[in-house]
Structure 1
Amino acid sequence: MSRSIRVLDDYIEQKLYELRTTTVGRVERVNPNGTYDIQPLVLTMERGDEDGEPLPLLIEVPAIVQKVKIDGVSKTIEPDYEKGDKVVISFCERDIENALQGRLSLPQDFRRHSLNDPILIGGLA
């Protein structure tokens, strides 16, 4: 394999290490506005790093609510996580600031799968 191909492979590998998709976290705080502060539990690591590092605390993470119909009556099932609960967090593909306000608009930032755009998608037993 040529040196230039190895350099490109190393670059791609490093970028993949930085990609955030879904991870497991622990609820550290339940906020009055219905969001959660969550500590990701899986360490991050750079290529060649054997120890890893904790990801930062994720602040005011919104949680998915479920709208269901029970016996013909529409209900909203809201999450009720507590400090210490294990949860699954997904990182949105683009900046979600405007979307969380219900506005259709371009993202405010060019970030992708960022730690700044998490959503709590469920709990773990």
Structure 2
Amino acid sequence: MANPLTALRALIATELADVYTTLPGEIVSYDGVFAIVRPTIAKQLTNGDILTPPQIVRVPVCWPVGDVNGAQALITVPLKPGDPVKLSFCARALESWLDGHNGAPNDPRQFDLSDAFATPMVRPGTMTADTENVSVQYGPATLKLSPAGDLTFNVKKWTVNTDQGTVNGPLTVNGLLTYTEGMKGSGGSGGATIEIDGNVDFRNGTLTHDGKDVGKTHRHPYDGGITDEVL
């Protein structure tokens, strides 16, 4: 007579063979809504045969997302074929939920291979995380936020589109400052002061003071003793 405990263990193992919890996978394709994902670890059967896992279609990808007062917030990264993901398998069938319904599913299956969520991940050995700062990186571009509150980003080119921009504090520009629609300043605790240490090359325009052209008549005492005739 077979050992009842052995028979029970065999039955449990047989049932668990079709229960999925978490598996590594890789992207086959992604359209920004659903992904097709392939689990990357095959199953070995009791007879030694290897069962290659099938592709899973209509896999929702997990991104940080929220909706505050109707303003949707979403953070994503590009996904291409071969990118690694973590597959988490749902305790209920997902078809109804994927179609926008929250009712009970029509299929009683649980932890099935077809009911997966995908979360992008880093495969160990391919990249190293920054262990000191909050970090965002994409190719050669990086953004670092330190525990002290310092923000540093390195990019080849950056563009800001805004209706109004404000910098509260001193601003240092280590490079050429170029503007296209003029420069204007007023107020401040010390008044509107511009200090330039170096040469000033004024071209293609009129230099005025209180609406008067001083570009042609302005002279200094050491320029032959002629003072400004307009100011």
Scaled by the length of structure 2, what TM-score is found?
Answer: 0.47
Select 1:119's aligned residue among 114, 117, 120.
117
Write the deviation string for residues 55-95 of structure 1: whole angstroms up to 9, x where unpaired. Answer: 101112110121269xxx86211342111101111110111
SS of 1:103's equivalent?
coil
CA distance in 2, matches of 1:74, 1:22: 29
CA distance in 2, matches of 1:36, 1:107: 21
Name whichever structure is richer in helix by fraction.
1
Aligned residue type for 2:120? G
Name whichever structure is richer in strand by fraction.
1
- Structure 1, 101-110 or 74-83: larger mean CA deviation: 74-83
Runs of 4 or more off by more than 3 Å in structure 1?
none
Q: Structure 1, unaligned stretches of length 5 or more?
A: none
Q: CA RMSD in A?
A: 2.3
Write the deviation string for residues 99-120 of structure 1: whole angstroms up to 9, x where unpaired. Answer: 2233221111010001121110
CA distance in 1, matches of 2:52, 2:24: 12
- Residue 57 of structure 2 corresponds to which residue in structure 1? 59
Distance 1:30 1:74, change over 3 A: closer
Scaled by the length of structure 1, what TM-score is found?
Answer: 0.82
Q: Structure 2, unaligned stretches of length 5 or more?
A: 124-231
Following superposition, the deviation at residue 6 of structure 1 comes to: 1.5
Write the deviation string for residues 20-42 of structure 1: whole angstroms up to 9, x where unpaired. Answer: 011011111223x6211111111
Matches of residues 17-28 of structure 1 in structure 2 within 5 Å?
17-28=17-28
Larger Rg: 2
CA distance in 1, matches of 2:36, 2:23: 14
Following superposition, the deviation at residue 14 of structure 1 comes to: 1.5
Following superposition, the deviation at residue 16 of structure 1 comes to: 1.5
Identity of aligned residues (%): 23
CA distance in 2, matches of 1:51, 1:89: 23
Tell me the number of residue pairs that the alignment of Structure 1 and Structure 2 aligns: 120
CA distance in 1, matches of 2:100, 2:58: 17
CA distance in 2, matches of 1:6, 1:105: 40
